[in-house]
């Protein structure tokens, strides 16, 4: 499972400063990752996650999302550390996103933060939802299979366009995995302005990249 807060590397110092304000106990990890950006140029990202740390406060959620998670009994994120950090770092002028995925990506979430608040949210899991301040609640990748295919999401379009009800649970799991991978990939694409590696490869790159780990005060 991963639960990352991601910013452009030029805002790394803001990220580190925000961690101290956001988390307590346990450890913080910041990873410096180089990926290919626009026109194959190298692009550095700073990625942070908590290891045994807790948030110093609770995150602030839009009322619609609070109601949605209560009705569906599906948490917006598995813990408060990432959303609280994203609020802090974006409040200091560094746009950030959270990427969360569980094994197999049958459950995945992306949240974009600007000016200290959640700016957009997309989630795939036992329930599926998207949210923006302008459009309210919706669903990620709304549209017909043909529209999805036209946008390049062929794998997802095939799954959603299937008429077969055989092994419905397996089809749902496959669709969630495809949607989860697209959510995460699309978030990295927005920062890189280029297609990111496949998710398994990306996780491997992050695991092998230079990491800085330090204990946090209680």
Q: Read off the pLDDT of residues 41-77 as tens digits, 9 standing for 90 and up.
A: 999 999 999 999 999 999 999 999 999 999 999 999 9
> Which DSSP symbol is given to 96?
E
C-beta of residue 96 within 8 angstroms of C-beta of residue 7? yes
Please give the DSSP secondary-structure letter assigned to residue 116: T
User: What are the residues whose beta carbons fall under 8 Å from the beta carbon of 153, sequence distance 6 or more?
Assistant: 141, 178, 182
Instruction: In whole angstroms, give the CA distance from residue 27 to residue 49.
Output: 9
pLDDT tens-digit map of 66-76: 999 999 999 99
Q: Token digits for 195?
A: 């297609």
Q: At residue 172, what are phi and psi to the nearest 5 degrees? A: -65, -45
């Amino acid at each position: 499972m991963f639960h990352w807060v991601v910013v452009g590397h030029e805002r790394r110092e803001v990220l580190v400063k925000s961690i101290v304000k956001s988390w307590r106990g346990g450890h913080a990890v910041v990873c410096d990752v180089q990926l290919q950006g626009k026109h194959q140029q190298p692009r550095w990202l700073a990625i942070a996650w908590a290891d045994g740390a807790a948030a110093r406060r609770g995150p602030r959620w839009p009322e619609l999302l609070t109601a949605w998670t209560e009705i569906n009994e599906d948490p917006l994120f598995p813990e408060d550390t990432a959303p609280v950090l994203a609020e802090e770092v974006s409040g200091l002028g560094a746009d950030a996103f959270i990427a969360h995925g569980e094994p197999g990506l049958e459950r995945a979430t992306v949240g974009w933060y600007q000016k200290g608040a959640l700016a957009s949210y997309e989630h795939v899991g036992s329930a599926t939802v998207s949210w923006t301040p302008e459009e309210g609640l919706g669903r990620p990748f709304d549209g017909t299979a043909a529209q999805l295919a036209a946008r390049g999401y062929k794998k997802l379009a095939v799954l959603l366009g299937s008429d077969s009800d055989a092994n419905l649970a397996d089809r749902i799991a496959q669709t969630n995995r495809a949607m989860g991978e697209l959510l995460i990939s699309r978030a990295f694409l927005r920062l890189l302005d280029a297609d990111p590696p496949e998710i398994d490869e990306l996780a491997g790159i992050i695991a092998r990249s230079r990491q800085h780990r330090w204990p946090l005060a209680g």
